[in-house]
């Protein structure tokens, strides 16, 4: 098991195979993720004597995954800079950046946009005149995409429905920035917990 690994996703691959890795999410919940291989870039932020980094390097070599390295000097506290913490709030190594999630979000939202064009009309919900499970699933997916700085202007109907749903009480209450364990710096100031 790789503990303390922070994986950041962005970019655009069309991978032929997959590799599974256990990791912890930014809020510390263990999850299993599917990482696409071989056509995307794997960028490892590493420290020479980190056992966690060593495990990733071994696994990458075993799987034939090329790594691009950036070396983080923990002795000089390079991991505590605001710039590094912005992309890795745990201020730890390793940090593995995998380029493909933005494209996955883009493809998924474009497909959803085409459904909305046919089904939603100009309403404030994905399907019909009231919210459905599709809306319950849509809002967290868009929230996650926004964390990766996806521009929603490419899917105007998704954006319109998302913004309308975010005004409703249940969606405000479930907002990740409105939870009891949300760090103060990320909290919504006019919270409705």
At 132, which CATH number?
1.20.1050.10
Has residue 65 been placed in a domain? yes
pLDDT for 120 equals 63
The structure's pTM equals: 0.54
- Domain boundary among the residues 38, 69, 99 is at 99
Residues 17 and 36 occupy one common structural domain: yes
Has residue 185 been placed in a domain? no
- Domain boundary among the residues 75, 99, 123 is at 99
Residues 72 and 10 occupy one common structural domain: yes
Residues 25 and 94 occupy one common structural domain: yes
Q: Are the CB atoms for 155 and 109 separated by under 8 Å?
A: yes
Has residue 87 been placed in a domain? yes
Domain extent, residue 153, equals: 102-179
Has residue 43 been placed in a domain? yes
Query: What are the angstrom distances between the C-alpha of 5 and each of 30, 33, 60, 78, 127?
Result: 11, 12, 14, 17, 39
pLDDT for 35 equals 39
Residues 17 and 93 occupy one common structural domain: yes
Q: Are the CB atoms for 53 and 36 separated by under 8 Å?
A: no
Q: How many CA atoms lie within 13 A of 45 on its CB side?
A: 22
Has residue 184 been placed in a domain? no
Q: Are the CB atoms for 46 and 70 separated by under 8 Å?
A: yes
pLDDT for 118 equals 85
pLDDT for 186 equals 85
How far apart CA 26 and CA 90 sit, in angstroms, is 8
Residues 58 and 109 occupy one common structural domain: no
Has residue 188 been placed in a domain? no
At 47, which CATH number?
3.40.30.10
- The total number of structural domains in the chain stands at 2
Has residue 91 been placed in a domain? yes
Has residue 190 been placed in a domain? no
Q: Tens-of-pLDDT digits for all 193 residues of the chain?
A: 233 344 444 433 333 233 333 333 344 333 333 434 345 668 899 999 998 899 999 988 888 888 999 999 999 998 999 988 888 888 888 888 876 777 778 889 999 999 999 886 788 999 888 889 999 999 999 998 888 788 999 999 999 999 999 999 999 999 988 998 988 888 887 544 4
Residues 116 and 95 occupy one common structural domain: no
Residues 56 and 116 occupy one common structural domain: no
Residues 15 and 68 occupy one common structural domain: yes
- Domain boundary among the residues 62, 84, 99 is at 99
């Amino acid at each position: 098991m790789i503990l303390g690994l922070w994986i950041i996703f962005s970019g655009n691959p069309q991978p032929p195979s997959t590799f599974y890795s256990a990791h912890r999410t930014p809020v510390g919940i263990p999850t299993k993720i599917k990482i696409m291989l071989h056509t995307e870039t794997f960028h490892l932020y590493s420290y020479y004597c980190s056992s966690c980094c060593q495990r990733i390097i071994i696994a990458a070599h075993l799987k034939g995954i090329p790594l691009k390295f950036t070396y983080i000097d923990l002795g000089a506290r390079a991991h505590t800079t605001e710039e590094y913490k912005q992309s890795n709030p745990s201020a730890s190594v390793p940090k593995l950046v995998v380029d493909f999630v933005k494209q996955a979000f883009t493809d998924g939202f474009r497909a959803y946009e085409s459904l909305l064009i046919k089904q939603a009309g100009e309403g404030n919900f994905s399907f019909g005149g009231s919210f459905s499970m599709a809306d319950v699933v849509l809002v967290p997916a868009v929230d996650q995409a926004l964390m990766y700085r996806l521009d929603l202007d490419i899917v105007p109907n998704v954006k319109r429905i998302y913004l309308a749903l975010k005004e409703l009480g249940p969606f405000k209450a479930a907002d990740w920035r409105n939870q009891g364990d949300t760090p103060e710096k990320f909290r919504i100031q006019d919270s409705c917990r």
